[in-house]
Structure 1
Amino acid sequence: MKKIGQTLGRFVAMIVTYYLYAYLQYFYFYPQKAHLHRSSGWLLALGTVAVLAFIFWMYKKTIPEADEWHFNEEPHWDWHRLGIAVLGYILIVFASVVSLNLVGGGTSANQSALNAIEKNGSRGLYNLMVVFIAPFCEETLFRGMLLNVFFRHPTRTNKVLAVLVSGFCFAYMHDPTFSKYIIVYLLLGCILAWVYVETRDLRYSMLVHMCYNALGVL
């Protein structure tokens, strides 16, 4: 019963993280609807920091006591894992270009919606969400929490399944209609999951995700 309760608690943490992420998106993507003004910018900043800190705290709580993966252990930074992150970034850019060409180019529904939000909203808030907040929340949810809930033992099979399932969940969130572009998101999600599995630290997959998203707003 204790294990069932712990698993249920971790799953609830995933749901809470998803809704907190959606809540932040609303304020950053639709500041007019949220009635945000310049004077309330500091409140949004403080609220964002508090929400992100709470999300990361929940992620750490989902790590099992017997952490066989050794996730989030210190020291957090070293050259070997930075090298994996650099390789991951190169792979994700290459995979993005190749997969888009394979599906015939164009723009996915998700990207079209983001383009419309960028055009009609605040560019500064949009960039903050896309480059920093979204990668933080998505990596915590689709890499960190997902593996802690469903793939607690680092067997060879679990490593492969973790990458594939994490990649699929990431792809489905970005393309729930299963259009041809889901292949693009699937590859991106799998590469980010691979970075996390190899480094065992969310900071690296977040860094790769942030750098990749930054390309889209330059």
Structure 2
Amino acid sequence: MLFMKARISRYVIGIITIWVMLFLYQTSQLPVHMPEMIGIPETRNYQWLFIVLVTITSILFIWLELYTIDDARRYYGNAYIEHQPTRKHTWLMFGVMFFALIVFLIIEPLVKTPMPENEKMIERSMMGMPILTAYVEVVLAPIIEELIFRRLFFVFFFKGMVNPWKRVLGIVVNGLFFASLHTSLLSPGMWVYAVMGMIFATTYVTTKNVKYSIALHFLNNLISVL
């Protein structure tokens, strides 16, 4: 009974923490939207100013993310992540997931799926502020989002993952959660973000190191921007 109460408490705290972090994430990215908000006509001339501003706010937010993750891990523990795999196994799994991502990126355009609203918004931003948008999407977003969607998520949910089926369930739920924050789960393009999220989640779960999922997220966003 006490174990069940502790688990429910962890889930509730996890949900609240992640939603607060997502809100703060959006707040930290306000400099990206400032040109449009304050009505600057020639936004290209001011891109470097907003790059500096969003870098400062993002660094502060990343520090907060790392502090929150470390605090949660100290309190709840995560034996699965603490037992790191060998370097050979890590690179093998990263290679497998890298190949999976490339296959996904080749297949995805062949499937006639309406462009998600999130991608349309990025395209519009690229027309007005290409350098700023590329910097945020390729450099900042992979770091910030992987810390939230992978490290923080798996600290609170599916933290044990000793059972292979529990790992699979965690990866699927994580992928759907990732998709739900990028587009509607009822939209035709939902599967794109869901599969993408599952690839990143599988990378994190198998390598037990967020830097590998960040690397794949970086590669995916770079190809999308190009």
What's the TM-score, normalizing by structure 1?
A: 0.83
| Structure 1 position 32, deviation (Å) | 4.2
Question: What residue number does 1:198 align with?
Answer: 206
1:77-109 Cα offsets, whole Å, 9 max, x none, are 93532332232122112113313323x155322
Change (3 A) 1:93 1:31: farther
Q: Any gaps of 5 or more consecutive residues in structure 1?
A: none
- Answer yes or no: is 1:158 the counterpart of 2:166: yes
- Retained in 2: the 8 A contact 1:96–1:188? no
Flag the 1:107–1:5 CA change in 2: closer, same or farther, 3 A: closer
Q: Distance in 2 between matches of 1:23 and 1:89?
A: 32
> Which structure would you say has the larger Rg?
2
Amino acid at match of 1:26: L
Which runs of no fewer than 5 residues in structure 2 stay unpaired?
none
Partner of residue 125, structure 1? 132
Is the 1:69–1:153 contact (alpha carbons within 8 Å) kept by the matching residues of 2?
Answer: yes
Amino acid at match of 1:80: H
Equivalent residue number for residue 62 of structure 2 = 52
Q: Deviations over 1:115-153 (max 9, x none)?
A: 011112x22221121012111222122212222212122
Task: Give SS of 1:176's match.
Answer: coil
Give the aligned partner of residue 213 of structure 1: 221
Q: Name the SS of the counterpart of 2:187 in structure 1.
A: coil
The yes-or-no answer on 1:147 pairing with 2:154 is yes
Paired with 2:181 and 2:50, the residues of 1 have a C-alpha distance of: 30
1:21 aligns with 25
Aligned pair 1:67/2:78, yes or no? yes
Alignment root-mean-square deviation, CA: 2.8
Question: CA shift at 1:7, angstroms?
Answer: 4.5
Label 1:6 to 1:184 Cα distance change in 2 as closer, same or farther (>3 A): closer
CA contact (8 A) 1:171 1:185 kept: yes
Q: Does the CA-based 8 Å contact 1:131-1:210 persist in structure 2?
A: yes
Whole-Å Cα distance in 1 between the matches of residues 212 and 92 of structure 2?
A: 10
Kindly state the Cα deviation for residue 213 of structure 1 after the two structures are TM-superposed: 0.8
2-structure distance, mates of 1:9, 1:42: 33
Output the CA distance in 2 between the equivalents of 1:214 and 1:39: 22
Map of 1:100 onto structure 2? 109
What one-letter code is carried by the residue in structure 1 that aligns with 2:29?
Q
Mapped contact 1:29–1:117 kept (Cα < 8 A): no
Structure with greater contact order relative to length (CA < 8 Å, sep ≥ 6): 1
Q: What is the Cα deviation at residue 44 of structure 1?
A: 3.8
Q: Taking every aligned residue pair, what percent have the same amino acid on both sides?
A: 20
Q: Distance in 2 between matches of 1:110 and 1:47?
A: 22
| Equivalent residues, number | 214
Taking structure 2 as the reference length, the TM-score comes to 0.81
